[in-house]
Structure 1
Amino acid sequence: MASSVAFSHDFAFDPAYGYDAPDALLGIPAPPAPDGFDAFWQDRHARARAVDTRPVLGPVEEERDGVRIHGVTYTSVGGVRLALPAEGPVRHGFVVGHGYGGRQEPGRDLPAPLPGAAVILPCVRGMGERGRVDGIPDLAAEHVLHGIGSCDTYVIGDCAADLWCAASALTALVPELAGAGLPGGPRLGYLGESFGGGLGALALPWDDRFGAAQLTVPTFGNHPLRLTLPCAGSGEAVRAHHREHPEVVKVLGYFDAATAATRLTLPTLVAAALFDPSVPPPGQFAVHNALAGEHELQVLTAGHFAYRGMVAEAAELDANRTRFFGERLTAAG
């Protein structure tokens, strides 16, 4: 297992947060669930599953790596219509969450971990040009605070719903995946990095259409601890808001990715970093440590930070995810 590495940097804080080895990070727990945690998420999921997503497949936007990439629109919770690129059909299905800042193009999200995969890459509400929604800011530091005064209005809950609705749109568009979640049917895979990793931890425990997941440097883990840790990411905006509104901890308790991970039983591969100025590593490891089902860990030297050896570690992670999903996902057809 990798050990912590000291980097030269200009941050006013230590992006390793005093943890000099993985063993110390592996002891970080998840906060206890607040009252009604499961019921809150089960209700959100039920409402999202009831949405008629009415996906519409657009023309081919790009063709590479053996896939055709289409634009797609679908309806999510609240009647918000979102646009996303998707690649078309075969034997596996994946939903791929994005980081804060949105998604302008597929990038490293393609090719898929497994050959013959249909991949839907949702742009969650408020993020980027394809996910733009009136009234929701698209800057990360503002987006992460939108509606934070109440569990029912906090945008993070609606972003999780966008992932559930993306899965519904995918299974509607690809007949081979229509049986996802049914006995003997295929199971979808989920990939999410940073913001998308935290959203995945929040969304996946409640949805039986998924069979395996990869969460890379996931955010939103252990909010009580995160509120004590300075960072360069969206968590700093939450920390500043908390100083003026300490009561927000009651809302954050329902959106803690580590707490949700205690309910996540599907096989999960986590890539967590030892050094990360944007998503504090203690929160990342808290998500991994809390997982209730089979899980694997790949320790990264750093996240959200360029370093020597980054390309090799990314290639290793790509190989691990191909093996991981290949061993655990049921093929359609």
Structure 2
Amino acid sequence: MPQFDLPLEELRRYRPELPEPEDFDAFWQKTLLEARQYDLDTRFEAVDSPLEGVRVFDVTYAGFGGHPVKGWLVLPAGAREPLPAVVEYIGYGGGRGLPHMHLLWATAGYAHFVMDTRGQGSGGWAQGDTPDPVGSGPAHPGYMTRGIEDPHAYYYRRLYVDAVRAVEAVRAHPLVNASRVAALGVSQGGGLALAVGGLVPDLAAIAPDVPFLCDFPRAATLTDRQPYKEIGLYLKARRGGQERVFRTLSYFDCVHFAARGRAPALFSAALEDQTCPPSTVFAAFNAYAGSERSMEVYPFNDHEGGGPYQQGVQLRWLKGYLKG
């Protein structure tokens, strides 16, 4: 698939005028205040694993509404002193999977926390173990339109809270240096890292890789790939609901969270990416408020982006912020 979006020089200048709710900050302050009324109740249970180079903990903590959220904590086997930590969020449809799928960051000397994704993890590539006990009104199959008529009921309100609480949970472990925690992820995971970067003021760094959940109005009308296509299919059946739907989405657009992010940030975009179009990624990058930000561009890649090459860039880049 050839490049289909704006030319790179225009992408570097792309700054859409996205309507931001007047109560955006108040909405999220109240949401997090309500979430913190529940004790975090973090439990780390050692896993009997054949992996000799790491120690694995099955983690449970209280996310949105006090609902139990699962995760893995993977530590270097010989760790005795608090380590910098990497919190990873998973792409759309996936769950935390199995511990041996998550060895990279621990072998690089970090505590690695992998958050499970409520209600997801049945897509065939990474199993999940966290249910979403909250129902919703009529929705298109998938997660993008669950509760989309009301920002308080929207699925991603619950998931963003889970993601913030994941940072709080990993900081509770005695072998984690709470002052040196980074957030990262690919696609949906990258969007969650951006949201957390805007909601948690003291992260050491974030690394959103081909992030999803950015510039909803453009994404929903530019690409016909899932999962953004779910929005269009929902509105196809519910004519006249566009204003209400996009108002809800405006509370969750990671361009707005980027405008509040301060931690050093490493983005990536792929210019043939039809799942998360590059203009939507650059919308978040160009809005990012932190003074230290950089972008890796992969001109001939689709949504796989840089893949292992981007991981190599992240390994070198994060070392300066977490181990420096």
User: Normalization by structure 2: what TM-score?
Assistant: 0.84
Partner of 1:171: 171
Partner of 1:290: 287
> What SS class does the counterpart of residue 260 from structure 1 fall into?
helix
Q: d(CA) in 2 for partners of 1:219 and 1:65?
A: 35
Render the CA deviation track for 1:165-204: whole Å, top value 9, x for unaligned.
1112111223543xx3xxxxx2210111101111221222
> Quick one: structure 1 residues 231 and 131, their matched pair in 2 at CA, closer, same or farther if it must change by over 3 Å?
farther
- Output the amino acid matched with 1:253: S
Aligned 1:258-277 pairs, distance under 5 A: 258-277=255-274
Query: Which of 31, 53, 71 pairs up with 1:66?
Result: 53
> Quick one: structure 1 residues 119 and 144, their matched pair in 2 at CA, closer, same or farther if it must change by over 3 Å?
same
Identical aligned residues as a percent: 27
Would the aligned equivalents of 2:15 and 2:287 in 1 still touch at CA under 8 Å?
Answer: yes
Would the aligned equivalents of 1:96 and 1:109 in 2 still touch at CA under 8 Å?
Answer: no
Render the CA deviation track for 1:39-93: whole Å, top value 9, x for unaligned.
2222223333443221222232545483222221111121211222211364111
Segments ≥4 residues shifted beyond 4 Å: 106-109
- Answering whether residue 23 of structure 2 is matched by residue 24 of structure 1, we say no
Partner of 2:190: 197
- Answering whether residue 30 of structure 2 is matched by residue 43 of structure 1, we say yes
Would the aligned equivalents of 1:262 and 1:290 in 2 still touch at CA under 8 Å?
Answer: yes
Partner of 2:73: 86
Partner of 2:153: 153
Would the aligned equivalents of 2:5 and 2:277 in 1 still touch at CA under 8 Å?
Answer: no
- Answering whether residue 225 of structure 2 is matched by residue 232 of structure 1, we say yes
**Residue correspondences, number:** 303
Displacement after TM superposition at 1:315 (Å): 3.7
Q: CA RMSD in A?
A: 2.5
Structure ranking higher on relative contact order (CA contacts 8 Å, 6+ apart): 1
Q: Which runs of 5+ in 2 are unaligned?
A: 122-127
- Answering whether residue 251 of structure 2 is matched by residue 254 of structure 1, we say yes
Render the CA deviation track for 1:242-282: whole Å, top value 9, x for unaligned.
34221211111111111221111111000111012322222
Would the aligned equivalents of 1:205 and 1:265 in 2 still touch at CA under 8 Å?
Answer: yes
> What SS class does the counterpart of residue 255 from structure 1 fall into?
coil
Partner of 1:97: 89
- Answering whether residue 216 of structure 2 is matched by residue 223 of structure 1, we say yes
User: Normalization by structure 1: what TM-score?
Assistant: 0.82
- Output the amino acid matched with 1:297: M
Q: Which runs of 5+ in 1 are unaligned?
A: 1-5, 8-15, 181-185
- Output the amino acid matched with 2:13: G
Displacement after TM superposition at 1:302 (Å): 1.9
Q: d(CA) in 2 for partners of 1:191 and 1:110?
A: 15
